[in-house]
Chains A and B, each alone.
Chain A
Amino acid sequence: MRTRARSWAAAAILAALAALAPGCGDGAPSAPPAGGDGRPLRILSLTPNVTEILFAMGLGDKVVARSTYCSYPPEVQALPAVGDTLQLNLQEVIRLEPTVAFLITRRDEVPRRLQGLGVRAVPLQSDRMGQMVQSIRTIGRETGREAAADALIQRIGADLDAVARRLQGLPRARVLFAFPMTVGSSRIMVAGRGTFVDELLSVAGAENAYPETADWPTVGPQQVVALAPEVVIINATGDDAPPDRIQVIRRAWDGLPAVPAVASGRVHVLTESYLTIPGPRVGLAARRLAETIHPDMPPEGPARTEGGP
């Protein structure tokens, strides 16, 4: 009764999301936003999903700098990029004078260095859905926009709930979620149990075919055959997204007919980058995954869903 256990897990995620969002805020800016010390709020966002969260909370006009990898929503590309948590252009950071920096890194030198420059560095986490929600709350608290944070959490919960409701009564499929193999290698990175994508899969009516708790392990063709997924989802983004690259990826998978997903033609290459971004578009990601895994699922009801492409 493993399948049943997984649907309980999905229910638990939704319940946790609901519990974390007490009361529905109107999302309107409460007070003139200010940093803790009275300076006007100027935000440095060093992580793509945090940038998305900030814009979804209506804080886009307070963001003064972004990481090199932040690209959504499109208007962030007009903002100056200051590198990433590995290589940060500190002179550029000094020039832009942010008052607060949101970042996700395991290197504590980065927040320490930013603090030294008078920037309030707020480390966040988003490896799990619950951590993402916690991060949204933290951002709300740090920017004085608690109501907007609650509203966003509520919306995300509703989006995920809408997907889960459409899947009621459908069997859960065993799904392997992978990134394309790099050129010259037959090994692929797959979502292990306990990752944020694993949680998304369980919302999307799937059971992760990778059985162990692991953070994006690498597996070879033999292991893929042994895992015997019914559905394979390849997330080909960026350089892997052009049609000729997708052709190469498909051909590589056609060489593994022993995998049930290959035999039944259920290897899907999805090019949306938001599938692995723990941000405001997780509902969209869950819907995209669900519709790919369950092409027979009932059409969307009147329930509202939000999010860009």
Chain B
Amino acid sequence: MKVRPFTSRGYVISIIVGLVVWAVVAAVAVGVGGRLWAWGSAVQVRNVLALRLEWVMTASVVGSGLALAGLAFQALLRNPLAEPYILGVSGGAGLAFILGSLWVSIAWSPVFGFLGALATVAIVYAISQRRGRLEPYTLLLTGVIINAFYAAAIMLVTALAKPEQRGDIALWMMGNIGAFGPQWTLVVVVGALAVGVAALFAMLAKGFNLVAVGEDTAGALGVDVGRLRIVTFVAASLVTGASVALAGPIGFVGLICPHLLRMVLGPDHRRLVPAALFFGATFLVLADLAACLWEGATNRALPVGVLTAMCGGPFFIYLLRTRWRRSAQLQ
């Protein structure tokens, strides 16, 4: 494998390139999605601009958070199919968020989302590891089962909830860049989290690279694999829980984005971490723009989570048929 040298200059360049690409796409999404040229009065333009800006920023921070979490899970679990949604982490965050918002307080439910995500990671990890080593098959199956369990639990909560709350829950579970909600504050919090986690992962990137080669090798080269794991899992859970609190469980962004980036940039996490921050944002902004154009054309809202899952399912199968075999042979 050809490893190109990577310096701090490399970081600066990739951050600038990522920022420019995201900013251009976001500006196009604000303009095209809002059909800014079609309005009669300045007040209308201002209102639409404010709305579109809010939704594009929501999509950006959620996309960033999920892409970074997916990248970290794939690196640390040495599994190309790991992703917050597939591992059940999003589901755990979702269940805890719903429980928190129904029976405690809507203001504290993001905290519940984080705790749900963290607990799920701990459960999945505890079940699928054997003497500190992760079984790739067991890991995915555990995720499948945890997801099924959470789905049942969410159905139970829905059945017990008041009829007028059921619509809310069902809609939220589809994953929405919502029309309502406590938006800007949470957008800022999730955005700060995503940037913070990206900075943390950038510092850990070398460790990710070594773990990808092999945990024993990484250990032999001085990486404290246990600590790396804990720090990464907590950070990834935090950003997943926050993203889910903001937009519901949006699936497969954490799967699609890191893989597309690897195809272009190669396996070096020092490149992948800043790229995931911006590309995750760009990707979900584009998905939200597609959902917005659909709504404009049909007057029927399309939850963006449904769209990403529709694209993510086939992509997962593609990965299963290609990458999975290769990595399974490596084990």
Give the interface of A toward B (CB within 8 A): 81, 83, 86-92, 94-95, 97, 106-107, 109-110, 113, 117-118, 189, 215-216
Q: How long is the Cα–Cα vector from A216 to B166 in the complex, in angstroms?
A: 14
A29 CB to nearest B CB, Å: 28
Q: Would A89 and B47 count as touching, CB distance under 8 A?
A: no
Q: Would B47 and A118 count as touching, CB distance under 8 A?
A: yes
Taking A91-B51, A97-B44, A118-B47 as contacts, is the C-beta distance between A113 and B180 under 8 angstroms? yes
Q: How long is the Cα–Cα vector from A89 to B167 in the complex, in angstroms?
A: 17
- Among B39, B51, B167, B182, contact of A90 (Cβ-Cβ < 8 Å): B51
A82 CB to nearest B CB, Å: 8
Instruction: Tell me the nearest residue of chain B to A97, going by C-beta.
Output: B44
Answer whether residue B171 sits at the interface, using C-beta atoms and an 8 A cutoff: yes
Label chain B's interface by main secondary structure. Answer: helix
Instruction: Tell me the nearest residue of chain A to B295, going by C-beta.
Output: A89
- Among B162, B180, B296, contact of A107 (Cβ-Cβ < 8 Å): B180
Q: Would B34 and A91 count as touching, CB distance under 8 A?
A: yes
Instruction: Tell me the nearest residue of chain B to A83, going by C-beta.
Output: B301
- Among B164, B171, B179, B299, contact of A113 (Cβ-Cβ < 8 Å): B179
8 inter-chain pairs at a CB distance below 8 angstroms, sorted by A residue, are: A83-B301, A86-B168, A87-B179, A88-B180, A90-B179, A91-B296, A109-B180, A215-B162
B294 CB to nearest A CB, Å: 12
Q: How long is the Cα–Cα vector from A90 to B53 in the complex, in angstroms?
A: 13
Q: Would A117 and B47 count as touching, CB distance under 8 A?
A: yes
Answer whether residue B314 sits at the interface, using C-beta atoms and an 8 A cutoff: no
Q: How long is the Cα–Cα vector from A89 to B51 in the complex, in angstroms?
A: 11
Q: How long is the Cα–Cα vector from A106 to B171 in the complex, in angstroms?
A: 16
Q: Would B179 and A118 count as touching, CB distance under 8 A?
A: no
Question: Given the complex, which residues of B lie within 8 Å of A90, measured CB to CB?
Answer: 51, 179
Taking A86-B167, A89-B301, A216-B163 as contacts, is the C-beta distance between A94 and B47 under 8 angstroms? yes
Q: Would B48 and A87 count as touching, CB distance under 8 A?
A: no
Q: Count chain B CB atoms within 10 A of each CB in A86, A91, A106, A215 and give the residue with the most.
A: A91
Question: Given the complex, which residues of B lie within 8 Å of A94, measured CB to CB?
Answer: 39, 44, 47-48, 51
Q: Would A91 and B48 count as touching, CB distance under 8 A?
A: yes
Q: How long is the Cα–Cα vector from A86 to B167 in the complex, in angstroms?
A: 8
Instruction: Tell me the nearest residue of chain A to B181, going by C-beta.
Output: A109
Q: How long is the Cα–Cα vector from A290 to B168 in the complex, in angstroms?
A: 36
Answer whether residue B43 sits at the interface, using C-beta atoms and an 8 A cutoff: yes
Question: Given the complex, which residues of B lie within 8 Å of A117, measured CB to CB?
Answer: 47
State which residues 9-60 of B face A: CB under 8 Å: 34-35, 39, 43-44, 47-48, 51
Question: Given the complex, which residues of B lie within 8 Å of A83, measured CB to CB?
Answer: 301
A123 CB to nearest B CB, Å: 14
Instruction: Tell me the nearest residue of chain A to B172, going by C-beta.
Output: A86
State which residues 289-331 of B face A: CB under 8 Å: 295-296, 299, 301
Q: How long is the Cα–Cα vector from A95 to B181 in the complex, in angstroms?
A: 22
In the complex, given contacts A88-B180, A91-B34, A216-B163, what are 16 additional A-B residue pairs having Cβ atoms less than 8 angstroms apart?
Answer: A81-B299, A86-B171, A87-B171, A87-B179, A90-B51, A90-B179, A91-B48, A91-B51, A91-B296, A92-B299, A94-B39, A106-B164, A113-B179, A117-B47, A118-B43, A215-B162
